[in-house]
Structure formats: C-alpha cells, structure tokens
A and B are shown apart, each in its own frame.
Chain A
Amino acid sequence: NAGVTQTPKFQVLKTGQSMTLQCAQDMNHEYMSWYRQDPGMGLRLIHYSVGAGITDQGEVPNGYNVSRSTTEDFPLRLLSAAPSQTSVYFCASRALRGQGNSDYGYTFGSGTRLTVV
C-alpha cells in the first residue's frame, strides 16, 4: 500500500498563478481532508470530503477549491496564488467507520511545500 500520496513535494509559484496540489489514497478511505501548516500555527483545516461528490469547508477555505470525483483522489486548487498561501500542505484520509480506537487515526501524506513569490 502506498497510503496517501501527494504531488508535487515542492513548488514555487508567482503571485497570481494557479495550480493544483494532488492527493491520492489507495486505502478506500471515505474521508479526505487538506490542511496547511505554518510555523507556530499547528495544522489548520482547509477543506474536507466525506465521500465522492461531497465536500465542505474547514477553518481556512478562502482562496482554495476542492472537488471529489472519485474515492481515491482529492485535489486542492489554488485559484490565484498569494504570498499568504506560502505554507506546507498536508492531505489526510481516514475510513469513516472503525472497529477500534486505532481506526480513528488519520493517515497523512508527506506534504507539499509551496512558496509563493
């Protein structure tokens, strides 16, 4: 199992450019989410999805779009990049229903380090 795969690992954008951060999981997890991590800010939820065709906003959704056309993929789109979006982006997934406590753990991708200049 590859788990959660994020691409690219690093990206530099110019202000105003758009791009899509890719996230794919092979664990058949219904729940997928995107977080951004900034120094001293912890992980903040951008958008999440509980299944194909269903998405919702998290704590900091402005400037980002998502879609969920398949169970496996949950891309994050930056519409018009701004320096404030310089951050590390993590995708995470989880099965919606679990048997024991360990099933409630989220699996994270290795992150995309984005710099907007």
Chain B
Amino acid sequence: GQSLEQPSEVTAVEGAIVQINCTYQTSGFYGLSWYQQHDGGAPTFLSYNGLDGLEETGRFSSFLSRSDSYGYLLLQELQMKDSASYFCAVREHNQGGKLIFGQGTELSVKP
C-alpha cells in the first residue's frame, strides 16, 4: 500500500514563496500529483511529475525525487487566493493506476 506524509498546516505572507513537502512510502507508482481545494469544494489538478525533476506551471512548480521518496509543491508570488488545502497524490502501479491521496496541507496566506 501507499502512505503519504504532508505537513498539516503552513502559513506564509502575500508575495512570499512557500514549499509544501510530501514524503511517501510506496511499493511502486507512476507519478506524483498535486491538487488544490478551496473551502471543501472540488479538488482541482495542479501538476504531475512522472519523472524525477522539476515541472513548472506559472507560479506553481512541483518536484519529484524517487530516490529520496520525496516531492514538493512550490508556490511563488503568493496571493491571498492561494489560501487553500493542497494534496499530494500517487498514481499506483496497478490496473488503471488508482490515485491515493495524502491528508492535505492547509495553506494560509496572510497580508
């Protein structure tokens, strides 16, 4: 089975950079994903790392190191609207690649 660990809460100020870490224990997976969720609404897809290294999408970047069983989401130029919960998730090595989530990190952006 899979196990993903994230910090439960992170606080940062507007305009700053914040990194949300995700460590995992897994028997094998296709890739690491990140999702954003505002106020219990529908989670929305942010990024996917199938290979080791950095993926950049605008203000958001995501990183994966399989050798370290570690990934992170980097948010730059923080805005108040970035206050949300962020989830890492792994797509398992099995039929269809089911997606297993971490427990989420609540990010609070302060003025």
Within 8 A of B (CB), among A74-117: 88, 90, 92, 96, 101-102, 104-111
Interface residue tally of chain B, by bracket? 20 to 34
**Do A42 and B45 touch (CB < 8 A)?**
no
A interface, over-half SS:
strand
Name the residue in B43, B44, B91 with the highest tally of chain A Cβ atoms < 10 Å from its Cβ: B43
**Do B43 and A43 touch (CB < 8 A)?**
yes
> How many whole Å from B12's CB to the nearest CB in chain A?
21
Contact of B42 among A44, A59, A108 (CB under 8 A): A108
Which residues on A sit within 8 Å (CB–CB) of B31?
A: 104
Chain A proximity mask over B64-76: 1 for CB below 8 Å, otherwise 0: 0000000000000
> How many whole Å from A35's CB to the nearest CB in chain B?
8
> How many whole Å from B36's CB to the nearest CB in chain A?
11
Within 8 A of A (CB), among B33-81: 33, 35, 40-45, 47-50, 55
**Do A42 and B44 touch (CB < 8 A)?**
no
Contact of B48 among A58, A96, A104 (CB under 8 A): A104
Which residue of chain A has its CB nearest to the CB of B49?
Answer: A101
Interface residue tally of chain A, by bracket? 20 to 34
List residues of A whose CB falls within 8 A of some B CB.
30-31, 33, 35, 37, 40-45, 48-50, 56, 58-59, 88, 90, 92, 96, 101-102, 104-111
Query: Could you show 30 A-B contacts with beta carbons less than 8 Å apart?
Result: A30-B96, A31-B96, A33-B98, A33-B99, A40-B103, A42-B104, A43-B43, A43-B89, A45-B98, A45-B99, A48-B96, A48-B98, A50-B96, A56-B95, A56-B96, A58-B98, A88-B40, A92-B43, A96-B96, A101-B50, A102-B48, A104-B31, A104-B48, A104-B50, A105-B33, A105-B48, A106-B35, A106-B99, A108-B42, A108-B43
